Amino acid sequence: MLKIRNGRDFIGGVTMICAGLLFIWFGRNLEVGNSFQMGPGYFPTVLSLVLMAIGALIILQSLVVEAERVEPQRPNWKAYFLVILAPVGFGVLLSGLGLAPTMFFLIVGVATASRYANWRHSILLGLFLAVCSVLLFTRLLSLPISAFGPWVPFLGDLS
Amino acid sequence: MDIFSNLWLGASTAFLPMNLLYGFVGCLLGTAIGVLPGLGPTATIAMLLPITFGLPPESALIMLAGIFYGAQYGGSTTAILINLPGESSSVVTAIDGYQMARNGRAGAALATAALGSFFAGTVATILLAMAAPPLAAVALNFGPAEYFSLMVLGLVASVALASGSLLKAMAMIVFGLMLGTVGTDVESGTPRYVFDIPELYDGLNFVAVSMGIFGICEILRNLECEQERSVGVKRVTGLMLTRSDFKRIIAPILRGTALGSFLGVLPGGGAMLASFASYAMEKRISPNRAEFGKGAIEGVAAPESANNAGAQTSFIPMLTLGIPGNPVMALMVGAMIMQGITPGPNVISDEPALFWGMIVSMWSGNLMLVILNLPLIGLWVRMLTVPYHLLFPAIIGFCCIGAYSINNSVFDVFVMAGFSVIGFALSKMRFEPAPLLLGFILGPMLEENLRRAMLISQGDPSIFLRSPLSLSLLIFAVVVLGLVLSPSISRKREEAFTE
């Protein structure tokens, strides 16, 4: 009877096989060609097959080799959520709010991911970095973002 | 002598006031991130890459290189003073360095580290200057088949020397190569895996990808086991070494430099491997081996020289062949591509000012670091008191702006966010992100050379075996793979038997 001895590796192997299948599926319309005249689909398809083979070997290994005992980390869902969402929020808000308010909200929002954060520090840091980034990026490096976007009353689009 | 005129050209580039300034800024930033734990050179270079796009290529690469070797210096400072290695390459320095600091010899340990690093950096730079042109000359004769085999060797060796599971590292390389195929196929003009998103037609941006899997991902991991640091450092006094100290460190520095220079050239090698290997060697052959672990000055001198030598010589394959051996070099290759320079053996002849300027700047950068580091130690230690909960929001903020500024589009910010999720999920399953980045950078080149070689041979794969050079490269790759596999197989088998 086969038993999964290393659950983490088992999942890893399955993930690799799924990744290979995804690439094959989304590349199904790409012309593969032959080894002489390789089409655009040749290289990705071969790689996907190799990845799936490696995935299968990882699964095989997970059935044979015992996992070493490791103390599991307690997942910090709040931190994952905030840190991953922060860039998304940045991307969504940037064009409307402009750099300064976006930066401020990003910093204050993401700082709460730490269990040592306190509001006073976060707000001060947010203000400081908002000013710094405006000076550095819009003034010095002249990126095409304004400090305040059209959503900000009175200040927006002035700079 | 040819080499002198080359070095003269390099000096005239590197000593331009602007390049000196960027080199200085790079060293300063590098030392700072070396001191700060939880922020590595890979993430920092990725974060700063967009800022360098506006600079001339020489200044940009000089600054990025400065960050890389500056980090080696900075990492050792904190390892010695508070037993907290800022970089993975100074982990072993902490063992004896911290003991020396506790015995009141922090100054001597820091001076040893600085002197060893400077000596090693100088030697490795000379080595780089001498080895690079002949190597590039050989590589100029490479056809597509040889290039393909060389890249395979590079990828295999980088897996072999990396830590962790071999299979998983290989999976990461293949996955990275696959990610490299996203975008318009150069030969046929067919879009691949673009999902009708116009931004994807140029492929995934490597800066956004590496900021995601290194920068943001590192933060996620750090927040998982967040601890407040308490830093108590005594004043550092007595930087001078005694005569007997000097006698004791000369041999370890020489050995460390030699070993580090060698290991740095290997793909997947570089600073970390060099420092571990040289510490292990020194522990075995030093006449004072009994003192190791209790504050032996050799235990600081050898790994510090080795990691700096390794950091410098890892530029050799990158500059001469265009093949990066570690993630930082992969970013440098990416930076060159973004500056419109094709990495490879042509760089030396096409861009002599860039090439020799970089080499000379490495030496001048090392000199700056010695001068900079010892008197500024107080400042670096004070930087350590910056708590992580103020540091990481700033890193995220700069990553976001950095990603945006690549193409002035928020799409790259989303790519970064997406890859932070992918990178984090992979690291949860214990897949290393470094091989993924190498595969991602090399993917398009590998595919192009494979297709060209197969066109030349009319679809006959034996072209890779008929050219003697290509054959020997492939044989070497197989040997490397076999060497790594054999002990791990036997160990795995042992584990299976004990049940």
> For B17-27, what is each residue's pLDDT tens digit?
989 999 999 99
pLDDT computed for residue B498 by the predictor: 40
Which residues are within 8 A (CB) of B244 and not within 5 positions of it... i.e. 6 or more apart? Answer: none
| Interchain contact, A90 vs B410, CB within 8 Å | yes
Q: Per-residue confidence at A136, pLDDT binned at 50, 70, 90?
A: confident
Name the closest residue on chain B to residue A82, using Cα atoms.
B220
CB-CB contact of B58 with B41 (8 Å): no
Q: Which chain A residues are closer than 8 Å to B224 by Cβ?
A: 73-76, 79
From CA B468, how far away is CA B36, in angstroms rounded?
48
Condensed to tens digits (0 to 9), the pLDDT of residues B65-99 reads 998 888 888 888 888 887 777 677 788 888 888 88
Residues in chain A: 159
Q: What is the DSSP letter of A38?
A: B
- pLDDT tens per residue, chain B (499 residues)? 577 888 888 888 888 898 999 999 999 888 888 887 767 788 888 888 888 888 888 999 999 999 888 888 888 888 888 777 767 778 888 888 888 888 888 888 888 888 898 999 899 988 988 888 888 888 888 888 988 998 888 888 877 766 667 888 899 999 999 999 999 888 888 899 988 888 888 889 888 998 999 889 888 888 887 665 555 565 666 677 788 888 888 889 999 999 989 888 877 666 777 888 888 888 888 888 788 888 888 888 999 999 889 888 888 888 888 888 888 888 888 888 888 888 888 888 888 888 999 889 988 888 888 887 777 777 877 777 778 888 889 889 988 988 888 888 899 999 999 999 999 999 888 888 888 988 998 888 899 899 989 888 888 888 888 888 899 889 988 888 887 776 655 454 444 444 3
Torsion angle of the four alpha carbons B409, B411, B417, B423, in this order, in degrees rounded to the nearest 10: -110
* Residue B105 neighbours by CB under 8 Å, 6+ apart: B238, B295, B297
Structure tokens at B421: 């999720």
Question: Chain B contacts of A87, Cβ < 8 Å?
Answer: 216, 396, 399-400, 403, 413-414, 416-417, 420
**Residues facing residue B210 across a β-bridge:** none
Task: For residues B337 and B19, give the distance between their C-alpha atoms in angstroms, rounded to a whole number.
Answer: 20
B274 and B259 Cβ atoms separated by less than 8 Å = yes
CA distance A7 to A21: 21
* Chain A contacts in chain B segment 334-393 (CB below 8 A): 387-390, 392-393
Condensed to tens digits (0 to 9), the pLDDT of residues A62-89 reads: 888 777 666 667 788 888 899 999 999 9
In 3D space, the residue among B349, B327, B347 whose CA is nearest the CA of residue B337 turns out to be B347
Q: Is the pLDDT of residue A20 over 60?
A: yes
Counting beta carbons within 10 angstroms of the beta carbon of residue A26, is it exposed (0 to 12), middle (13 to 18) or buried (19 or more)?
Answer: middle
Within the 209-248 window of chain B, which residues sit less than 8 Å (CB to CB) from chain A? 216, 219-220, 223-226, 228
Q: Are B80 and B113 in contact (CB under 8 A)?
A: yes
Is the Cβ–Cβ distance between B63 and B18 less than 8 Å?
no
CA B89 – CA B33 distance, rounded (Å): 13
Among all chains, which residue has been given the structure tokens 């996203």? B182
Contacts of B408 in chain A (CB under 8 A): 143-145
Phi, psi of B183 (to 5 degrees): 120, -175
Q: Provide the sign of the torsion angle of the four alpha carbons A114, A116, A121, A125, taken in this order.
A: negative
pLDDT reported for residue B388: 82
Are B400 and A90 in contact (CB < 8 Å)?
yes
Instruction: Note whether B23 and B62 are within 8 A (CB).
Output: yes
Q: What is the mean pLDDT of chain A?
A: 85
Best CA proximity match to B83, nearest among B99, B64, B104, B65? B99
Q: Which residues, numbered 105 to 144 in chain B, qualify as contacts with chain A under a Cβ-Cβ cut-off of 8 Å?
A: none
Nearest to B89 by CA among B51, B37, B165: B37
Tell me how far apart the 2 most distant CA atoms of chain A are, in Å: 72
Residue with tokens 């130690």: B377
Give the pLDDT score at B488.
Answer: 56
Query: Which residues of chain A does B184 touch, with a Cβ-Cβ cutoff of 8 Å?
Result: none
Question: Choosing among B404, B422, B450, which should be mutated to test the A contact, i.e. which has the most A CBs within 10 A?
Answer: B404
- Candidates A108, A106, A109; CA nearest to A93 is A106
Q: What residue of B is the nearest CA neighbor of A137?
A: B401
Q: How far apart are CA B61 and CA B82, in angstroms?
A: 32
Question: B245: closest CA among B353, B93, B141, B109?
Answer: B109
